[in-house]
């Protein structure tokens, strides 16, 4: 696998995994558009490990606090300037995240075969890019955006969790669909993104472990060891930077750019599929 393809695909994964624009769509479409060979399961695992490391490291302190609070341990209080300060108003948040993870886990196991074959069609990807873009637009206009993580309820978490189950369809975007659901629940943009990223951690970990179990039977081919290492490193560093950027951006910004990006990208994918290439 050429080094330039490794770098491009790892950067694409790191950027698109956490922005509401669908990593699956971009990783399927970049090789399709440029005529590259499928990088294969080994490289896919590397990218998942990289983005898992990014979100786990960025939210390590938050996860420690959420877990300790769930078991009644308030040993690491947050000062007023800390973004985690709202966690202390919601000691049940860990259990809400556990409940919200279940729908996506079940959907991933039940629908994996379709997600990796039939649904990777550019027509499906284009439709979901546009549909979720419209959903985000509607959420931006209709939502009150007043709740922080301290006011999220079990009902809110389950709504977001069932929405995350739709991310098994390529083109949906895990962060896009969960942020849209959170906005409809009245959760403010920064809190919606934080909840989305926390909720994504066990799902990304599960996907990486599931794929690694498959790879364990054959191991890493010698010619894939360097691409594997580079994929982990580059996707991890890129993903960490993107999380930090997106959370800062949402303090004052809206999702309009990402909505327009999804709409334009979906139309372009549809045009390419119809007029220029066999799907």
pTM value is 0.91
Count of beta carbons in the 10 Å neighbourhood of residue 235: 29
Q: What is the rounded distance in angstroms from the CA atom of residue 236 to the CA atom of residue 9?
A: 12
Name the token pair of 161: 């969790």
Tell me the C-alpha to C-alpha distance, in Å, between residue 255 and each of 71, 127, 183, 239.
Answer: 35, 19, 11, 19
Instruction: Provide the pLDDT for residue 10.
Output: 95
Count of beta carbons in the 10 Å neighbourhood of residue 180: 28
Q: What is the rounded distance in angstroms from the CA atom of residue 67 to the CA atom of residue 202?
A: 14
Q: What is the rounded distance in angstroms from the CA atom of residue 209 to the CA atom of residue 173?
A: 20
Domain regions of the chain by residue span:
3-79+90-275
Per-residue pLDDT of the chain (279 residues; tens, 9 = 90+): 888 999 999 999 999 999 999 988 898 888 888 888 888 778 888 898 999 999 999 999 999 999 999 998 876 777 777 888 888 899 999 999 999 999 999 998 888 888 878 888 889 999 999 999 999 999 998 878 889 999 999 999 999 999 999 999 999 999 999 999 999 999 999 999 999 999 999 998 988 887 777 777 767 778 888 989 999 999 999 999 999 999 999 999 999 999 999 999 999 999 988 887 554
Q: What is the rounded distance in angstroms from the CA atom of residue 73 to the CA atom of residue 58?
A: 22
Environment class of residue 262 by beta-carbon count within 10 Å: exposed (0-12), middle (13-18) or buried (19+)?
buried
Left (φ > 0), alpha (ψ -120 to 50) or beta: where does 140 sit?
A: alpha
């Amino acid at each position: 696998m050429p080094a330039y393809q490794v770098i491009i695909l790892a950067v694409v994964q790191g950027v698109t995994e956490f922005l509401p624009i669908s990593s699956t769509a971009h990783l399927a479409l970049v090789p399709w558009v440029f005529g590259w060979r499928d990088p294969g399961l080994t490289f896919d695992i590397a990218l998942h490990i990289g983005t898992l490391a990014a979100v786990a490291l960025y939210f390590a302190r938050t996860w420690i606090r959420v877990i300790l609070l769930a078991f009644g341990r308030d040993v690491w209080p947050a000062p007023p300037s800390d973004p985690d300060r709202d966690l202390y108003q919601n000691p049940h948040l860990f259990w809400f995240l556990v409940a919200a993870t279940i729908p996506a886990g079940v959907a991933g196991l039940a629908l994996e075969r379709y997600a990796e074959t039939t649904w990777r069609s550019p027509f499906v990807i284009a439709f979901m890019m546009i549909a979720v873009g419209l959903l985000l637009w509607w959420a931006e206009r209709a939502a009150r955006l007043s709740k922080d993580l301290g006011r999220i309820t079990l009902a809110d978490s389950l709504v977001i969790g069932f929405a995350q189950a739709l991310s098994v369809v390529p083109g949906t975007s895990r962060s896009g669909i969960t942020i849209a659901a959170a906005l409809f629940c009245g959760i403010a943009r920064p809190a919606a993104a934080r909840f989305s990223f926390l909720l994504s951690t066990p799902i990304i970990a599960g996907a990486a472990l599931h794929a690694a179990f498959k790879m364990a039977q054959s191991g890493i081919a010698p010619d894939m060891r360097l691409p594997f290492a580079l994929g982990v490193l580059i996707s991890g560093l890129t993903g960490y930077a993107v999380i930090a950027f997106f959370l800062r951006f949402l303090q004052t910004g809206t999702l309009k750019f990402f909505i327009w990006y999804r709409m334009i990208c979906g139309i372009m994918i549809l045009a390419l599929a119809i007029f220029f290439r066999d799907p």
